[in-house]
Amino acid sequence: MASSSCSTCMMNKSSFAPRVTNCKKELMFSYSSLVDKLPVHRNSFSLSADVSKSRLLLSHEKSMKWKQTQQLPLRNSIQCQAVETQSTPSFTIGKKFQLDDVIESQQFDRDILNAIFEVAREMEKIEKHSPGSPILKGYLMATLFYEPSTRTRLSFESAMKRLGGEVLTTENAREFSSAAKGETLEDTIRTVEGYSDIIVMRHFESGAARRAATTAVIPVINAGDGPGQHPTQALLDVYTIEREIGKLDGIKVGLVGDLANGRTVRSLAYLLAKYQDVKIYFVSPGVVKMKDDIKDYLTSQGVEWEESADLMEVASKCDVVYQTRIQRERFGERTDLYEEARGKYIVDQNVLRVMQKHAVVLHPLPRLDEITVDVDADPRAAYFRQAKNGLYIRMALLKLLLVGW
């Protein structure tokens, strides 16, 4: 949501005549006509009398930063140069949230991420100190889960109830809903939106969440769509990294395990690309390597990445070791490939010994044997704190989608 420009302008009492030359816009306009012609209120426009620090300020939508290009007498005109124009979203309390649905990580930019994290911190205070909050009183959330879930479904339901809302739920919609009778996803969504104000859906097919959002009038949150994406997990992962490490720029992250089928690592990679000087290591068995679309995206965004077969070496370099399970349900009848991948990379005491003191181990859970139980006692084992943070992120998203900032 940011753009930059290089423009020159002349402020004059008598004229307003924009002219474009090469990559520069030369504008002649009067101070009085400027206020009338720019889309701002008079009380939101200011021009400093100090030419060396001249700035043109536009409220709400854009802020323009100006610098002087030449010393001139402050008489009837001022010559200045616009060096940067920044558009920033409005996060004013009561304003509508910028997104209608939460479907994929690419929807977010740094400004929105920072604002969501700020709301999540407020949600943590509510959860700890203000039980029975009425923020979402009168709202109904429907959870449609076509795949098993513990943390995601329960954290969303807990989030809704802690903010005063109510929940309509189906735990296994694939088997215990009309989908078992052959009903289309679109028909299900059209029906359920008549009973609720927001839908949280997990589905076994990649792209199903987008189909649901296209069909529905009410907001839809993607709680995981097959091997596609899991954006709310990625949000809580980035939120956790910031809280645990203290920064998001300049970090090194090792993504370990089932990178081909893991929707969590895909969504996380998209979000990490929003930050500066991040390096991502991919550590996985050959049969479940990260897919090329993610690698290509990271390259296009200038994010450095590297594939490695040495977990110990990667763990010694990283701020975050993000372990994932090998997902047996994604292999179908190819149990031989599953057995080939399973158990190859395990976070244990040996890995902890080479990790840096400030580094953390994360895991979207559930875990099988890819993190040994004795790791839990180490303060760098942050995965249960990570799961708790999911409550605050989901409280924030429900609040933002239903009532705004």
- According to DSSP, residue 403 is labeled H
Amino acid in position 88:
T
Structure tokens at 394: 């989901």
Amino acid in position 86:
Q
CA distance 328 to 337: 9
What share of the chain has pLDDT > 70, as a percent? Answer: 72
Find the range with the poorest average confidence among 123-127, 197-201, 308-312, 330-334. Answer: 330-334
At 140-151, the pLDDT tens digits run 999 999 888 888
- Of 152, 170, 240, 324, catalytic: 152
Report the relative pairing of strands 62-67 and 77-87 from DSSP bridges: antiparallel
- Nearest of 78, 73, 43 to residue 58 by alpha carbon: 43
Averaged over 353-357, what is the pLDDT?
98
- Cα 65 to Cα 12, 25, 181, 357: the distances in Å are 19, 15, 60, 42
- Of 60, 151, 243, 289, catalytic: 151
- Which string of DSSP letters, residue by residue, matches 278-306? -EEEEE--GGGPPPHHHHHHHHHTT-EEE
pLDDT at 82 over 60: no
What share of the chain has pLDDT > 90, as a percent? Answer: 60
pLDDT at 9 over 60: no
- Cα 269 to Cα 297, 306, 348, 366: the distances in Å are 9, 13, 24, 20
Q: In the prediction, which pLDDT does 237 show? A: 98
Q: In the prediction, which pLDDT does 57 show? A: 33
Q: In the prediction, which pLDDT does 331 show? A: 63
CA distance 181 to 120: 39
Is 181 among the residues known to form the active site? yes
At 369-382, the pLDDT tens digits run 999 999 999 999 99
- Cα 380 to Cα 47, 228, 360, 363: the distances in Å are 52, 29, 4, 12
Is 41 among the residues known to form the active site? no
Is 153 among the residues known to form the active site? no
Q: In the prediction, which pLDDT does 313 show? A: 97
Q: How confident is the model at residue 93 (pLDDT cuts 50, 70, 90)?
A: confident
- Of 162, 203, 211, 230, catalytic: 230
Q: Which residues, 6+ apart, have CB-to-CB distance to 332 below 8 Å?
A: none
Q: In the prediction, which pLDDT does 199 show? A: 98
Q: In the prediction, which pLDDT does 102 show? A: 97
- According to DSSP, residue 238 is labeled H
At 154-191, the pLDDT tens digits run 999 999 999 999 999 876 665 555 666 678 999 999 99
Q: In the prediction, which pLDDT does 11 show? A: 40
First-to-final CA distance of the chain: 18
Find the range with the poorest average confidence among 129-133, 185-189, 286-290, 332-336. Answer: 332-336
CA distance 367 to 385: 15
pLDDT at 27 over 50: no
- According to DSSP, residue 375 is labeled G
- Of 153, 162, 202, 266, catalytic: 202
Rg for the chain (alpha carbons), in Å?
25
The larger pLDDT score, comparing residue 282 to residue 5, is at 282
Q: In the prediction, which pLDDT does 357 show? A: 97
- Which string of DSSP letters, residue by residue, matches 94-156? TPPPS-S-B--GGG--HHHHHHHHHHHHHHHHHHHH-TT--TTTT-EEEEEESS--SHHHHHH
Q: In the prediction, which pLDDT does 91 show? A: 78
Q: What is the largest CA-CA distance in the chain?
A: 82
The larger pLDDT score, comparing residue 22 to residue 241, is at 241
pLDDT at 340 over 60: yes
Find which of 44-53, 73-82, 110-119 is predicted with most confidence, using mean pLDDT: 110-119
Is 202 among the residues known to form the active site? yes
Is 152 among the residues known to form the active site? yes
- Nearest of 44, 83, 50, 87 to residue 66 by alpha carbon: 83
What is the number of alpha carbons within 13 Å of residue 220 lying toward its C-beta?
Answer: 28
